[in-house]
Structure 1
C-alpha cells in the first residue's frame, strides 16, 4: 500500500477516536447541545427525550382519574365533546349510589314517523241529538246524565195539544172508515166515499208515525177511552247521555234539544299535519297518541279520513283517526301528540326520559364504570315517546345507565362550580 494512503488512514482513525471521546465527556455534551451537527441525535419524539415521552399524563389525585377526563374538575369540557364521549365522575363513596337505579339501553324496531298535535273529539257518526218533535209539556223524564241507554229505550214523555189533536183525528178517521166499510158492504155508499175515508185514516196514522209513535201505540189509541196521549221520546241508538236539557213540567218548543247521546266506544283524533306529509298518508295508516292527561299510556288508532284541502292560513292538513275506547277512559277534547308511522321498521335505542340530564351544554347520561365511578356521556336524542326517549347516538344496546337518583351524580359533576374542584386548583 502507498505510504501516503497508510498515513491518511491513521489520521482518520485518530479523528474518530477524538470525536468519540468528546461525546462521552459531560462538559463537551453541553457544548455540543447547541451545535446543529452534534453527534448525539435526540431520542423519542422530536425535541423530547425518551424519558419525557414515557412520562405519564397528568393525574387528578383527589378524584383518582386522569385530569383530562375529570368531570368534577372541568364540567364545562362537556360542551366540546361529541356524542359517545364523556367525562368521569367519582362519588365520595360507593354507598352514595344507594338511591341510584340502573336500566339497560333497550333496542326496539321502529319505523319512520311524523309527529303532530292531536285532539280527541266525538265521532259524529256515533252522536245523536234528541229533540222535541212538537211543542208541549214534559210529563216524565226517565234518564239522567251519564246514563247508558239502548236503542228504543224511553227517555221522556211529552204531552201536547198537537198530539191530542192528532190522536182525535186518528180515532175520528177510524170511525168514519168503519162506517163506510159497513155501508159499502151493503152497497149504500159510493166507492169514492170509501176510498176517501180510507185515505184520511191512512194520513192520520202517518202523521202519528212521523211524530214518533210506534204501530203498537197507534193501535192502542184506537181503543175506547184512550184520549189523553203522551209522546214517548226514545233513544235512537245505544249510547250514553252526555247532555240533558229536559226538566219535568217544562214547556218545550218543537225542535228544542232535550238530550245529546254519544257512543264513546270509538272516538276520533283530529290531527294537524304539515302538508309535506301528504305524499306518505293513506287510509288505515297506524297512529299512536300520547295524551297530556295519560302520559304513561299509548293509545293506538287508524287514519279514517284525510281532508280534501290544505288550510290556506296555517298550511296544515286535517286528518281524522279512529281511536277505540273500550274502557271509556278517553274523553273528548283531550289534547296530546300523535305519531304516524310512515316508513319501514329500523332498530332504535330507547332509555327512560328520567335518565337524561340537561346541562348548559349537550344532554348527558350517567354510565357506571366502577361502584363509585361514572361516566357523564354526551348523547344525541331523537323522538320522545311517553316516558321514554330515543337515543340516536352515544350509547350501545345493553349498556347500563342511571335511571333514577341521577341528581346525586349531576350534583357531583358540577361540584367545582361550588368551589370544590381539584385540590391543586
Structure 2
C-alpha cells in the first residue's frame, strides 16, 4: 500500500514539474481557463491559437503574415498601399485593434506600425521596392532635387544599416479591375501643355478722375452770372470762356489799377525833374530823396493793383488793353484752365455767386485713375510700374490697361486692405468715374509654364498629386507635383513633377485618389 502511495506521489510531482515546464515554454498548449491564472510572463494574447497560428518572435507578428520571412506572401496577401505595402492583416494604422489581437511588437518611435514593418523607420516591406519613385521627399515635403536638408546630410535620412532612403516613400500604383472599367467610371485625360504665363493678382478696384487732369471752376469774385456759355459734356480747350460774371469788385480793381498807373507816371516825371535840379544845385538833395520815395510808393500801388487783376485771371495783354482803353468794365470771363470735358455744371444765368462758389468741373478723361484694394497678405508682392488690367463685369468693350504708379503706406483697419493706384489709358472715353470692377496686377515676368487642368490635381497628405495613365490599360501611376494657382481659375501651373506632352487624368482623378487612401472614408470607389 505504501508503495502505491509513494508511486502516486512521485507521478503527481512529475506531472506538476511537466505542467510547470509546459506553462513556461508553451503556455498556448494550456486551456484558456488555466492561462488566465498564469503569471504575466507566461501569458499570450487572448486570440485563439487557430486565429493567431505560429508567432514570429523575430519580427513580432504572426508567422502567417510575416512577409519578411516569407517574401512569397507578398503575392498572396492583400497589402496596405497607404502604409508601406505591409500586409493589411497586420496594419495597425488601418486597424488599431490588431496590436492586442496578435500581440504585435510596435514601433518604439510611436509611428503606430509594427516595429519591423515601419516604413517611416526605413523598414518598409520588400514589395515597396518595386513601386516607381516619383522623386518626392516625404520627410521634408518637397522635391528631392530641391531638398537642401537631404543634400546637406544625406546619411541622416538613411535607415540604420539598410541603405534605404527613408524620406523617399513612393505612392502605390492604381490598377483597375480591367481596362474597360476606366470608361465605365468616366475617367478622362488631358495633355500637359506649355504656354507663356505670368503670375497675376486679382483685386477689387474702382475708377476715378485723374486729379492731375481735373479742375473745379469758381468765379474768384463776388457778383452775378451774366452769361453761361458751357454745358455738360462740352469739350473745351484751355482758355475757352465758360461763363461771364458781372462784379463790382472787378471794376473797382480796374479803377485802382488805372489810378495807380497814373500816379506812377506823375511820380516818375516829378522825380526826373527834381533830379536834374538837384544835380545843378537848385534844390537840396533831401527834395530829390523825397521824390524818389514817392515814385517807389506809386510803383508799389501799381504792382498791388496789377496783382489783384492777375488773381482774377487777367494776363499781360489784357492789362495793357485796360490801360490803353481806360477800361473799367465790371465783366469777368471765367475760362477753362485745361483741355477736357465739362463733367459738372452748377452755373445758372443771373444767380449770385461768391468767390468760392463752384460753377463748373472739367476733366480730361483720356486717362483715368484706378484705385485698387489689395489684401494685406498680398501687398508685399505689389510694386510701382507693374502692369494692370481692369475689366468691368457686364461691359462688352475690351479691358483697359495701365501701370501702377503708387502703393499705399497704410492698411485699412476695417477691410485690412491697402489702396494702390494705377493710371489707365482711356482714349475713347469708355471708362467712367466710380465704376467698380476687377483689377489684374501682373506680379511676375512672363515665362514658359507647364499648365494642367485644375481638376487633375488632387490633394493628399498636404501634397498635390496627379495620376499618369500607363501603357498597360487600367494602370495609373500617382505623381506628386508642385502646383501654383494662375489667373485662369480652371488651370494650375506645375513648377515640378511634370513635362509637356505627358497626359494626366482629369475627370475621375478623385476616384483614383481614394484607391491610394485605404482606410479613409470613401476609399476604394473604383473597386
TM over 0.5: yes
Interval of TM-score (by shorter of Structure 1 and Structure 2): 0.5 to 0.7
**Could you say if the C-alpha distance between residues 108 and 121 of structure 1 is closer, same or farther in structure 2, counting changes exceeding 3 Å?**
farther
- What is residue 302 of structure 1 aligned with on the other side? 403
- What is residue 264 of structure 2 aligned with on the other side? 177
- What is residue 23 of structure 1 aligned with on the other side? none
Counterpart secondary structure, 2:199: strand
Matches within 5 A, 1:106-125: 108-125=195-212
Structure 2 length-normalised TM: 0.47
Matches within 5 A, 1:26-425: 69=183, 84=189, 108-187=195-274, 190-224=291-325, 226-295=327-396, 297-344=398-445, 345-347=447-449, 390-392=490-492
Q: How far has the Cα of 1:167 moved from its partner? A: 0.9
Structure 1 unpaired stretches of 5+ = 1-45, 47-56, 59-65, 71-76, 86-103, 352-379, 400-425
CA contact (8 A) 1:292 1:334 kept: no
Q: How far has the Cα of 1:319 moved from its partner? A: 0.9
Counterpart secondary structure, 2:372: strand
**Could you say if the C-alpha distance between residues 106 and 159 of structure 1 is closer, same or farther in structure 2, counting changes exceeding 3 Å?**
farther
CA contact (8 A) 1:382 1:390 kept: no
Q: How far has the Cα of 1:163 moved from its partner? A: 0.8
Q: How far has the Cα of 1:259 moved from its partner? A: 1.0
Give CA deviations for 1:85-108 in whole Å, capped at 9, x if unaligned: 9xxxxxxxxxxxxxxxxxx99964
Give CA deviations for 1:341-389 in whole Å, capped at 9, x if unaligned: 22343436699xxxxxxxxxxxxxxxxxxxxxxxxxxxx997666xxx6
Structure 2 unpaired stretches of 5+ = 1-75, 77-176, 275-286, 454-482, 494-499, 504-527
Give the aligned CA root-mean-square deviation in angstroms: 3.5
CA distance in 2, matches of 1:251, 1:173: 30
CA distance in 1, matches of 2:452, 2:310: 62
CA contact (8 A) 1:293 1:334 kept: no
Q: How far has the Cα of 1:221 moved from its partner? A: 1.7
CA distance in 1, matches of 2:396, 2:484: 19
CA contact (8 A) 2:254 2:327 kept: no
Q: How far has the Cα of 1:224 moved from its partner? A: 4.5
CA distance in 1, matches of 2:242, 2:367: 23
Q: How far has the Cα of 1:121 moved from its partner? A: 1.1
**Higher relative contact order, structure no. (Cα contacts within 8 Å, ≥ 6 residues apart):** 1
Q: How far has the Cα of 1:267 moved from its partner? A: 0.8
CA distance in 1, matches of 2:239, 2:375: 44
CA contact (8 A) 2:244 2:332 kept: yes
Q: How far has the Cα of 1:125 moved from its partner? A: 1.4
Matched residue count: 280
- What is residue 63 of structure 2 aligned with on the other side? none
CA contact (8 A) 1:176 1:197 kept: yes
**Could you say if the C-alpha distance between residues 220 and 293 of structure 1 is closer, same or farther in structure 2, counting changes exceeding 3 Å?**
farther
CA distance in 2, matches of 1:270, 1:224: 52
CA contact (8 A) 2:202 2:487 kept: no
Counterpart secondary structure, 2:303: helix
CA contact (8 A) 1:131 1:255 kept: yes
CA contact (8 A) 2:219 2:354 kept: yes
CA distance in 2, matches of 1:288, 1:170: 55
- What is residue 68 of structure 2 aligned with on the other side? none
Counterpart secondary structure, 2:198: strand
Q: How far has the Cα of 1:325 moved from its partner? A: 0.8
Structure 1 length-normalised TM: 0.58
